[in-house]
Amino acid sequence: MKKIFVKVDEDIIKKILKRGSTLVVATAITMTLSGCNREIIDTKYGLDTGLTIGDDTAIIFEIENWKDYEGEQYQLKTPQGLVMLSSSFDTELFYGHSDTYSVKSFASNAISNLGELHYLGLISDKDKRFNYQIIDTHWKYNKATIFNKNKALVANIVKWRSYQGEQFQIVTEDGMVMLPSSYNAKLFYDLQSPIKAEDFAKKYVGSDGQVHVYGEEISVGNFNYDILDLNYVFNKIIIFKDETAVVLPIDNWTDYEGEQLQVSVHNGPLLLTAAYDSILINDTKSQNKAITIAKMLSDNVFDYSLGFPDTKGFLNKVLLDLEYGFNNAIISNNNSATAISIDKWCDYKGEQLQITLPTGDVILTSSLFLDLLNGGSEKINASTLACDYATGKVIDKAQNVTNKALFNCQILDLNYKFKYALKLINGNVTILPLYRWKDYYNSNGYKSAHCSVRADGTKIYKILSEEPSPNCEQLQLELSDQETVVLASSYNTVLVDNITPIEEIAEMFRGENGTIINLESVFGKPKDSSWNWKLIDTKWTYNYAIYEAGQNCQIFDINTWMDFSDGEQVQLKFLDNRGMLTSYINTSLIYAKDESKVEILGKAFSGQNIKTGSVYKYRSLNK
């Protein structure tokens, strides 16, 4: 991560031509003959409306222009002059207009009856055919916002830096350095806008939320991007869970693809945790400390850093990781935590972790739900941290929490069979029996360049090379009825090859108030074989989409779909003139011959065996 490089996006025309005309024509003919509804060439560069889903809130705003970064972040500018660098995980972009369907109805259905719908400025009816910002000329942000449920921190910053769309590094005027994930953080430039970052934050957390401001507003000039990152010291980490925050002092750290952070906790375990809900902190030069940040974003803070001396020197990042032993793990989700012992583990490009339990069960999950630990002390270990991660349901099955495993990394993964998939949404667990499955390792190829700045502020780029960044973003699940297919994000989908009853595995992932719904009665038993990994993908048609963000699930008929090589986003065209660019984090694509099974999936995803009225379908689009 720590490179003195910045990305340069390719020109749109070159990006299209790069696909190769022969391949495009051949693939298009094949798809047309097979009835495929996947688009090959992207022609949608006019997006007029944005929607951000907050803590049971929805914010609608007009887009003056926009730019996309590796599918992870959008740079968005409103007509009022507010510039925002936002994660694509909680923000959807829309194009076109519809008489039967509006962004307002979409937003209203994503929140509960008590939720709040907000507008960020006036919204015009102007149809923007092309408002994509080809060349990025905006390199200044004066504020960063970090969100945690119904709390927000607005920090006035003097410098910023972005890492592959995954993380922001921000520096405040008093010297506090923070490295949050872009999953729950945004950058703003609001010095020339009547709408401020604080206004956005208040709408995001709702009327029952809290917004804290860190530092005084300052002018940042025309350029405050931190070209040369010399900060290689972080002395603390804050891990945020649904109802708690844990502050840990660290002796050293390293990161993996911007997805995971590995830290050696002072007088504690070696900990591999997700970057999504963590912030690395260097507070050695600031009068404020990490505990200040934690208390601004959580009411329940466990602080283990009291009395920990400030880290000295210029480097505590581990450049060569030789730690390949983890003997315990914590599964956490929606105010629940389960500490377990593990026999083996392996890592997939920072996106996923596969663990083998002493019972022989194999689990492949996003690191969003799983921490790995090795060793620890009586005060800080897998069992104590599991109790800190949740105020609700806590299960402790960890063993030998102070002992260390020397090496139990599974070098050669020979497990190509998974019987079930667990879909995790808002603490609910849906058990999906599998016939076959396939994962997608997409390549985020991009040009890397060295950037230098002249005295007059002009930026000069020298193209160095094309750098691939392989990652597993999606899982294609063919269900046991052999006619229903789900294309789901690997972030919230767990694969299981179980010996223990699947309901017991599901219980470890169930949130405090979540439900477990087993759909074997609908789709049948999983395929009994030693191998059900799908070698060649022949599924190119999806006729439904389930939008899963917010409080409810929404089901849509789709005309066409298109995903991008980075695997982060999918562009959907509905059955009228409306379409959207959304993250796979929030949206699953479905192919089904039986429409009733799509309804069953949507209701199960949102836990609707105990609630009613929260799954919406836009059947009028069929007319």
For the chain, the domain total comes to: 3
Q: What is the pLDDT of residue 126?
A: 78
Looking at the chain, the whole-number percentage of residues with pLDDT higher than 90 is: 69
pTM to 2 decimals? 0.89
Same domain assignment for residues 191 and 271: no
Residue-wise pLDDT for 564-588, tens only, equals 756 688 999 998 888 999 999 999 9
Segment 82-138, tens digit of pLDDT: 999 999 999 999 998 877 778 999 999 999 889 999 999 998 877 788 999 999 889
Q: Residue 313: what pLDDT?
A: 75
Decide which of 239 and 96 is more confident: 239
In a domain, 241, yes or no: no
Kindly compute the dihedral angle of the four CA atoms of residues 391, 392, 396, 401, in this order, to the nearest 10 degrees.
-20
Residue with tokens 């629940």: 336
Residue 77 domain-assigned? yes
Band the pLDDT of 348: cuts 50, 70, 90.
confident
Query: Quick one: pLDDT at residue 257?
Result: 74
Tokens, residue 568: 């982060």
Residue 260 pLDDT greater than 80, yes or no: yes
Which residue is associated with the tokens 């102007």? 126
pLDDT of residue 231: 86
Concatenate the DSSP letters of all residues of 560-616 into one string: EEEE-TTSSEEEEEESSS-EEEEETTTEEEEE-S-HHHHHHHHHHHTTTTS--S-EE
Give the phi and the psi of residue 422 in degrees, each rounded to 5.
-110, 120
Closest to 583 in 3D by CA, of 568, 595, 572 = 568
| 167 & 304 share domain | no
Question: What kind and span of H or E run contains 451?
Answer: strand 446-453
**Is the pLDDT confidence value at 43 over 80?**
yes
Clarify whether residues 60 and 206 are in a common domain.
yes
22: in domain? no
**Which is more confidently placed, 324 or 30?**
324
Q: Is the domain of 162 the same as that of 304?
A: no
Contact 373, 328 (CB under 8 A): yes
- Other beta carbons within 10 angstroms of residue 215's beta carbon come to 16
Are both 330 and 434 inside the same structural domain? Answer: no
In whole angstroms, what is the distance from residue 59 CA to residue 116 CA? Answer: 9
How far apart are alpha carbons 53 and 111 in whole angstroms? 8
> Is residue 283 in a domain?
no
What span, in angstroms and rounded, lies between the C-alpha atoms of 580 and 570? 8
Tell me what pLDDT residue 413 has.
Answer: 87
Q: How far is Cα 286 from Cα 39, in angstroms, rounded to an integer?
A: 51
Could you write out the three-class secondary structure of 177-217? EEEEECCCEEEEECCCCCCCHHHHHHHHHCCCCEEEEECCC
Question: Does one domain contain both 71 and 198?
Answer: yes
Q: Which of 179, 206, 223 is the endpoint of a domain?
A: 223
Question: Is 7 domain-assigned?
Answer: no
The pLDDT of residue 468 is 41
Same domain, 348 and 219: no
Q: Residue 273 pairs with which residues in a beta bridge?
A: 261
Q: Are residues 425 and 510 in the same domain?
A: yes
pLDDT at 287 over 70: yes
CB 231 within 8 A of CB 172: no
Distance CA 167, CA 198 (A): 21
Mean pLDDT in residue range 437-465: 46
Helix (H, G, I), strand (E, B) or coil at 154: strand
On whether residue 468 sits in a domain, the answer given is: no
pLDDT of 616 reads 67
Does the pLDDT of residue 423 top 60, yes or no?
A: yes
Residues 49 and 146 both lie in one domain: yes
- Given this model, what pLDDT does residue 259 score? 86
- The predicted-structure confidence for 512-538, as pLDDT tens digits, reads as follows 999 999 999 999 999 888 899 998 888
> Is 17 a residue whose pLDDT tops 50?
no
* pLDDT at position 64 over 70: yes
2 has pLDDT over 50: no
Q: What is the mean pLDDT of the chain?
A: 87
- Burial of residue 446 (number of CB atoms within 10 Å: 0-12, 13-18, 19+): buried
Cα 295 from Cα 593, distance rounded (Å) = 50
How many helices (H) does the chain have, and how many strands (E)? 9, 41
Identify the pLDDT of residue 46: 94
In this structure, are 387 and 424 located in the same domain?
no
Positive or negative CA dihedral for 509, 512, 514, 516? Answer: positive
Q: Is there a single domain that holds both residue 57 and residue 183?
A: yes
Q: Looking at the domain assignment, is residue 290 inside a domain?
A: no
Taking residues 346-364, what's their average pLDDT?
A: 91
Q: Look at 89 and 5; give whichever has higher pLDDT.
A: 89
Q: Given this model, what pLDDT does residue 33 score?
A: 40
Give the chain's end-to-end CA distance (angstroms, integer): 50
Say if 480 falls within a structural domain: yes
Could you tell me the residue range of the domain that residue 510 belongs to? 420-440+474-606
Where does the pLDDT of residue 366 fall: very low under 50, low under 70, confident under 90, or very high at 90 and above?
very high
Encoded tokens for 47: 């997006």
312 falls in which pLDDT band (50, 70, 90)? low
Domain co-membership, 267 together with 345: yes
